[in-house]
């Protein structure tokens, strides 16, 4: 006898008509213990991240690390060149004159911070991503017009197709849709 194999799906999305109902649903999704969730809306809704319990991104720490790397490498390179590799005594001034290092240290700090911000955002957002399974749901086209969606991915440890679907329907959405990969 063949066991019935449940088809693999990417997850479930629930469609809401207002921001308030989306935020209320997001709080209930968070309180239910779901972690792999996201909201989709026609305009940015800052409160949605707090409602889902997703607070800060790692990008700020990456930018700080890039800036510190730029600062240290600029200082190290200038110190190596001026003091160790090619010391030139000009007018009896000391070889290690750190105030002259500031402009280059500032410029390299900003440069590496900006590069880290750009490439960090591209990497953390998994871009470029020309295809996403959500585009398989015809109703999702309204996410850029007038509807608000909350999605729960099937990779969530608490995800159970029937249980999650009934939970999302209990939030009184306009509709609950399965997202095929």
Torsion 109-115-118-124 (CA) sign: negative
Tens-place pLDDT, residues 87-110: 988 888 888 888 889 999 999 999
Taking the C-alpha atoms of residue 25 and residue 79, their distance in angstroms, rounded to an integer, is 57
**Residue 67 sits in which domain range?**
59-124
pLDDT value at residue 28: 95
Do 116 and 78 belong together in one domain?
yes
Do 66 and 150 belong together in one domain?
no
Q: Are 83 and 33 in contact (CB under 8 A)?
A: no
Do 66 and 120 belong together in one domain?
yes
pLDDT value at residue 81: 94
Indicate whether 3 pLDDT > 60: no
The 3-state DSSP class for residue 7 equals coil
Do 96 and 65 belong together in one domain?
yes
Instruction: Kindly state whether residue 157 falls inside one of the protein's structural domains.
Output: yes
Do 41 and 81 belong together in one domain?
no
Do 118 and 137 belong together in one domain?
no
Taking the C-alpha atoms of residue 122 and residue 97, their distance in angstroms, rounded to an integer, is 39
Domain boundary among 106, 124, 142: 124
Indicate whether 168 pLDDT > 50: yes
Do 87 and 101 belong together in one domain?
yes
Instruction: Kindly state whether residue 6 falls inside one of the protein's structural domains.
Output: no
Residue 126: which residues within 8 A CB-CB, separation 6 or more? none
Do 136 and 98 belong together in one domain?
no
Tens-place pLDDT, residues 39-52: 999 999 989 888 88
Domain total in the chain: 2
Do 70 and 117 belong together in one domain?
yes
Indicate whether 4 pLDDT > 80: no
Instruction: Kindly state whether residue 48 falls inside one of the protein's structural domains.
Output: yes
Indicate whether 1 pLDDT > 50: no
Q: For 20-44, what is the mean pLDDT?
A: 94
Domain boundary among 100, 124, 148: 124
pLDDT value at residue 43: 94
Tens-place pLDDT, residues 62-77: 999 999 999 999 999 9
Do 172 and 148 belong together in one domain?
yes
Instruction: Kindly state whether residue 75 falls inside one of the protein's structural domains.
Output: yes
Do 51 and 137 belong together in one domain?
yes
Tens-place pLDDT, residues 117-161: 999 999 998 899 888 899 999 999 999 999 999 999 999 999 999
């Amino acid at each position: 006898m063949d066991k019935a194999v449940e088809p693999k799906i990417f997850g479930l999305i629930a469609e809401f008509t207002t921001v308030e109902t989306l935020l209320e649903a997001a709080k209930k999704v968070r309180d239910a213990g779901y972690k792999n969730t996201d909201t989709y809306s026609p305009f940015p809704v800052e409160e949605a991240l707090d409602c889902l319990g997703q607070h800060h991104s790692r990008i700020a720490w990456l930018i700080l690390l890039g800036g510190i790397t730029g600062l240290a490498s600029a200082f190290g390179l200038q110190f190596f060149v001026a003091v160790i590799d090619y010391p030139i005594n000009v007018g009896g001034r000391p070889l290690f004159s750190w105030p002259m290092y500031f402009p280059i240290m500032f410029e390299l700090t900003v440069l590496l911070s900006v590069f880290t911000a750009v490439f960090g955002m591209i990497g953390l957002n998994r871009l470029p991503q020309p295809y996403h399974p959500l585009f398989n749901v015809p109703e999702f086209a309204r996410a850029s017009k007038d509807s608000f969606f909350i999605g729960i991915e099937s990779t969530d440890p608490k995800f159970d197709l029937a249980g999650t679907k009934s939970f999302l329907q209990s939030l009184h959405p306009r509709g609950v849709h399965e997202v095929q990969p």
